Amino acid sequence: MELLNYAFMQRALLAAVLVGITAPAVGIYLVQRRQALMGDGIGHVAMTGVGLGFLLSWSPVWMATLVSVVGAVLMELIRWYGKARGDIALAMLFYGGMAGGVMFINLAPTGSNANLTSYLFGSLSTVSDSDVTAICLLAAFVVLVTVGLRRQLFAVSQDEEFARVTGLPVRFLNLLTAITAAVTVTVAMRVVGLLLVSALMVVPVAAAQALSRSFAATFAIAVAIGVSVTIGGTVTSYYQDVPPGATIVLLTIAAFIVLTVLATPLARRRARATAAARPVPDPAECAVPAGRKPPGDADS
């Protein structure tokens, strides 16, 4: 393929594959916990990290990772202790993250709104060798956590109280999930963009759930969808000169629609099979009225 002759496309495709693996791998736990929009919130906070990276002349990816992790921990603490005013605190955190990113990048000597846009919506040509190294290391951490601790994370995502009774460190696992989500956001921001990464964390999982009921199958299908759409979006972006992040998200939504339509007959077939497998109740005329003994049953 022609695009593989260019070093920037080789870097972009490698980053796309890693994003396609890590985003659904974390997203499946967020969907189970009903925190589908957590990635979006972390993306807002990560903007401050990007701006600080330009201001301090440090890697925006690593600075965004650091700030995102701090923001994710704060989000978990607010969820635990925020109670009635938790939503207000989260809103301030999200909007403050956006405002901080815009302010810091404009204060930076080499920063501009154009730089920020490439992180908000993704950019193939700006993925550097150092970005690829950071993405590979961060993606390895995400895969290690989401696969190595899948049973524990699934148990906590399904029922925190039951997981606590069984002796699992629920708060630690919740924090680890939040930190892993923060790392995933920074992995994806060079390809998909901070404002669009949440779609890649959630939509492939929703599409996979339409096809499968088991956790393992859903996990595998979601990752397969994620890798397919990120590669497809990256290649389309190169040939058609369109934004990679928007292309990937639109392909993800299209995959969801197609798989949902295909899964509808399958769901109906499953429902009929389940109904057929149920025991047939006795006819009403065969039922013994309350207070009357069955025929042949005499008092002792």
pTM confidence score: 0.82
Q: At what angle do helices 215-240 and 197-211 cross, to 10 degrees?
A: 130
Residue 130, CB-side half-sphere exposure with 13 Å CA sphere: 6
According to the model, what pLDDT value does residue 20 have? 92
Q: Which residues of the chain have pLDDT under 50?
A: 300
How far, in Å, CA of 141 to CA of 223, rounded?
Answer: 16
Q: How many residues comprise the chain?
A: 300
Do 97 and 71 meet the contact criterion of CB atoms below 8 Å apart?
yes
CA distance 55 to 26: 30
Whole-angstrom CA distances from 273 to 209, 213, 215 are 19, 15, 21
Inter-residue long-range contacts of 289-295, CB under 8 Å, 24+ positions, other chains counted: none
- The reported pLDDT for the residue numbered 300 is 46
Residue with tokens 């659904």: 24
Structure tokens at 139: 């993606």
Asked whether the beta carbons of 2 and 145 are under 8 A apart, the reply is no
Of 18, 1, 10, 49, the C-alpha closest to 192 is 18
CA–CA separation, 139 vs 15, rounded Å? Answer: 9
In this structure, are residues 178 and 73 in contact, taking their beta carbons and an 8 Å threshold? yes
- Tell me the C-alpha to C-alpha distance, in Å, between residue 25 and each of 38, 204, 205, 294: 14, 10, 9, 58
